[in-house]
Chain A
Amino acid sequence: MIHKPLLLLIASSISLVAYADNDYIRPLSQSKAYQAECASCHMAYQPGLLPAQSWQRIMNNLPNHYGSDASLDSATIKEISTWLIDNAGTYEHVSNPPKDDRITESTWFKRKHRKIVEEVWLRASIKSPAQCMACHSAAANGNYDDDFVKIPK
């Protein structure tokens, strides 16, 4: 007979490893409007990075968008909001709206980046935690995998 606890240990180790490698975030569909309107000043953050509640608040507050005016006509707001909410994050760790609805304030984000010291975020090549692509060069394609991270000097 196979030792049950040992089997359980092996099985759980495998599933943990599989999850740890699964840092690919892609929405089910694309939105041209989102790309055109929301990626002109910053990276097109994947909708799965925030819960629907956060996206709703952001889209209802575009004239006060994190220090900038990002206002849009109501038809485009409606179109983009629908897409964001349809593709919003639903996993357990994304379900709580973060402070200020900022991706970088999420518990999971802080945990993932816990080893990055403050000095790194302030480097001219990075500027802030909001610039995913500074270290995750393939972030626009949803690739946040550890193996592809390069932290610039």
Chain B
Amino acid sequence: MNHPDINATRLSKIAEGQRARIVAVGGSGALRRRILEMGMTKGTELLVEKYAPLRDPLEIIVKGFHISLRVEEASEITVEIVE
């Protein structure tokens, strides 16, 4: 996804404890829809809670609940960092 915002980055690049807002959810088919249906729609704010000990998957908090995503899945989600 092309996004003019220079702050836009992949969710997988966000550090632990950092907040971000979803700009776009890429990927295809089931995965993309699953992510959206869990409430991670455009504009939703999330917090990267932690990475697993082996650095994959990662845990995020979105809309008050905790979700884990693989790094490769998170890399499909474009976000902008919220200061």
Decide if A and B are genuine partners: no
Residues on A close to B: CB < 8 A?
Answer: none
